[in-house]
Structure 1
Amino acid sequence: MARLLSVLVLAILLVPHPAHAWGRLGHRLVAALAWDDLTPQARTQIARLLEGEADPTLPGIASWADELRDHDPDLGKRSSRWHYVNLAEDECHYDAARHCRDGNCVVEAIRAQTALLADPSRSHAERLQALKFVVHFIGDAHQPLHAGFARDKGGNDFQIQFDGRGTNLHSLWDSGMLKAADLEEAQWLQRLRAIPLAVDLPAQPLSPPSQQWAEASCRIVLRPGFYPAKAILGDAYVPSWRPLAEEQLRRAGAELAVTLNAALAR
Structure 2
Amino acid sequence: MAKERADILLAKQGLFNSRTQAQRAIMAGLVCDHNHQRIDKSGTSFPSDEQFFIKNSGKKYVSRGGLKLEKALKVFNIDLTDKICLDIGASTGGFTDVALQNGAKLVYALDVGYNQLAWQLRDDLRVEVMEKQNFRYSKPEDFTKGLPDFAMTDVSFISLDLIMPPMYQILKDQCEAVCLIKPQFEAGPENVGKHGIVNDHHVHCAVIKHTIEQALAIGFNVLAVDYSPIKGGKGNIEFLIHLQKNERDGGKLIWPNTPAEIVERAVKGL
Give the structure with the larger strand fraction: 2
TM-score, shorter chain, exceeding 0.5: no
Under a length normalisation based on structure 1, what TM-score does the superposition of the two structures give?
A: 0.30
Under a length normalisation based on structure 2, what TM-score does the superposition of the two structures give?
A: 0.29
Highest RCO, 1 vs 2 (Cα 8 Å, sep ≥ 6): 1
